[in-house]
Amino acid sequence: MTLRIDISDERDRVVFTLTGRIQAEQVSELQALVKSDLPDHSLVLDLKEVKLVDRDAVRFLAEIEAEGVRLRNCSAFVREWILRERMESLRKRIKEQA
């Protein structure tokens, strides 16, 4: 199974419900969706039906969450991985500044 993206509108939010696998090949498509012009709407990615992610996908999720996108129904495993990726990124930035 690849990635399926369903789009819905909840009052002042646009919700992308993702189903299947998020891998490096799908990240550019998701980036385009996230960057699309959504005036007056916040963005939510519902990950309840996501079965598999790779490192590129996790880095993408960490990046967009830091930019204000809400991750709904994010599994504990993916949440932990996102936190680890953020810590690694922070360590690299600190090392570069030293």
> Which domains does the chain show, CATH number per domain?
3-97 (3.30.750.24)
Q: What pLDDT does 34 receive?
A: 87
Query: What are residue 21's phi and psi, to 5 degrees?
Result: -110, 140
For residue 21, name the pLDDT band (cuts at 50, 70, 90). Answer: very high
What is the percent of the chain where pLDDT is above 70?
95
Task: Give residue-wise pLDDT tens across range 34-60.
Answer: 888 666 678 999 999 999 999 999 999
Residues 35, 43: Cα–Cα separation, whole Å? 10
- Model-level pTM? 0.88
Q: How many residues does the chain have?
A: 98
Residue given tokens 């500044």 in the structure block: 97
Closest CA to 12 of 36, 46, 42: 42
Using CB atoms within 10 Å of the CB of residue 86, give its burial: 0 to 12 exposed, 13 to 18 middle, 19+ buried: middle
Mean pLDDT of the chain: 91
Tokens of 36: 């699309």
